[in-house]
Structure 1
Amino acid sequence: MQMSWEPFLDAVRERGEYASRHEAERAARVVLALLGAHLVGEVRAELAARLPETFELILLNPLQAAEPLSPERFVRATAAWIEGATEETAKWDVGAVLSVVSEAAGADLTRRVLLQLPPGYDLLFGRAPAA
């Protein structure tokens, strides 16, 4: 089921402790554009279908990644795209957005998303590392 705009942003805003919905939206746009570059095929389409329409389009029309980014490089790339961000604040942004994405996706789809990503993304999605 597709999550609607306001509940999605409110959840990101709460998790990220953002002062405004605008800050939550900015973080979500950057993180989802970077995430979309790492996902392909049915998994990306299924995940996009569970997000609010604007974010669905961002996930489906991503930047193209030259190579999969490790979790650390993903956080650094996020910091580079968000004005005034540091690696620490970007890690917070990534975690806030991806934990809400994980909830919207559900356990099975999140597991399939993680299979397309380099090792170590579990924690960014708010999940314990796979054994």
Structure 2
Amino acid sequence: MEVMTPAWDTFLERVRERGEYASDQEAERCARVVLALLGTHLVGSERAELAQRLPDPMAHVLLDTAPAAEPLAPDAFLSAVAAWIEGATAQTARWDVGAVLSVVADAAGPELTRRVLVQLPPGYDLLFGRPEPA
């Protein structure tokens, strides 16, 4: 099954709708923060393939980050996002991350999303809106 790369405006519109943001600028700001941090956690072909399935501006954000020494646990990832978004709290960061990563998962498709999740600590499936069955 071929997954089409969403256009920039479509990607941003989906993030804006899911995050219930007041403006495209707010949606873009959150998407950039979340994808920059996610980019530090991914390596290899999954990182490159995910970038190919994102609109160019977001692909560059994902790829233009240095790898982290080790991936953050989901709660630490949320705290890091909250630290980078002015006025954010742990609760709003969870909302922001969920809005962005669920759109990313849609763009990636189920197979690539599964491979991305394998690289991340347990619990990221919920952030991507793809809870694993118990």
* TM-score, scaled relative to structure 2: 0.94
- Give the residue type in structure 2 aligned to 1:12: V
Percent identity at matched positions? 69
Q: Counterpart in 2 of 1:76?
A: 79
The equivalent of 2:68 in structure 1 is 65
Please give the residue correspondences for 1:45-60 in structure 2 after superposition, counting only pairs within 5 Å.
45-60=48-63
Q: Which runs of 5+ in 1 are unaligned?
A: none
Quick one: distance in 2 between partners of 1:62 and 1:46? 15
Equivalent position SS for 1:122 = helix
Give, in whole Å, the separation in 2 of the partners of 1:58 and 1:101.
Answer: 13
For residues 65-88 of structure 1, the C-alpha deviation after alignment (integer angstroms, 9 at most, x for no partner) is 232100000000000000110010
Q: Does 1:32 align with 2:40?
A: no
Contact 1:4 1:52 in 2 (8 A): yes
Deviations 1:8-66 (A, max 9, x none): 00000000000000000000000000000000010000000000101101111114323
- What's the C-alpha RMSD, in Å, of the aligned pairs? 0.9
SS of aligned partner of 2:124? coil
Give the total of aligned pairs: 131
**Gapped regions of structure 2 (runs ≥ 5):** none
Task: Check if 1:105 corresponds to 2:108.
Answer: yes
Q: Structure 1 residues 130 and 116, CA, compared in 2 at 3 Å: closer, same or farther?
A: farther
Kindly state the Cα deviation for residue 128 of structure 1 after the two structures are TM-superposed.
1.5
Large movers: runs of 4+ above 4 Å: none
Task: Verify: 1:42 aligned to 2:49, yes or no.
Answer: no
- Is contact 1:79-1:85 (8 Å) kept? yes
1:130 Cα shift?
4.6
CA contact (8 A) 1:3 1:51 kept: yes
